[in-house]
Amino acid sequence: MSDLVSSTCEACIIDAPTVSDDEAGLLLEEIEGWDLIDDGIKKLKKEFSFANYTDSVNFLNKVADMANHEDHHPQIILEWGKVTIIWWSHKIKGLHKNDFICAAKTNNINKS
């Protein structure tokens, strides 16, 4: 289990620093399958595939529960057999360590 999975999100304040490109590169190595995207704001994105719609919804619900517990909420796109998760920190309009923590926890949910 990675250190990220066992970490807890910290409250993100509006002037919190975003992770540097070097930090992001190192943290990205700990979260298998996630892509760094930039649509004007750097974000983490991953698509998860499932055998059917019910499995997709069940995974989405588990991610939503974890997000509520961490008080950090992603964009979630639900489709038949697929869930896309996008993490970024809205207050700082970029990536915070919280995003990598939640990405790792999302991967861990998918393994269970």
| DSSP labels, 27-89 | HHTTSTT-EEEESSSEEEEEEEE-SSHHHHHHHHHHHHHHHHHHT---EEEEETTEEEEEE-B
Residue 52 lies in a domain: yes
Q: How many domains does the chain have?
A: 1
Q: pLDDT 10s per residue in the chain (112 long)? A: 458 887 777 777 788 889 999 999 999 999 999 999 999 999 999 999 999 999 999 999 999 999 999 999 999 999 999 999 999 999 999 999 999 999 999 999 998 7
Residue 47 lies in a domain: yes
Residue 6 lies in a domain: no
Nearest to 12 by CA among 64, 88, 76: 88
Residue 4 lies in a domain: no
Residue 112 lies in a domain: yes
What domain range is 57 assigned to? Answer: 39-112
CATH number for the domain harbouring residue 57 = 3.30.1360.20
Residues 6 or more apart in contact with residue 62 via CB below 8 angstroms: 109, 112
107 vs 112: CA distance, rounded Å:
9
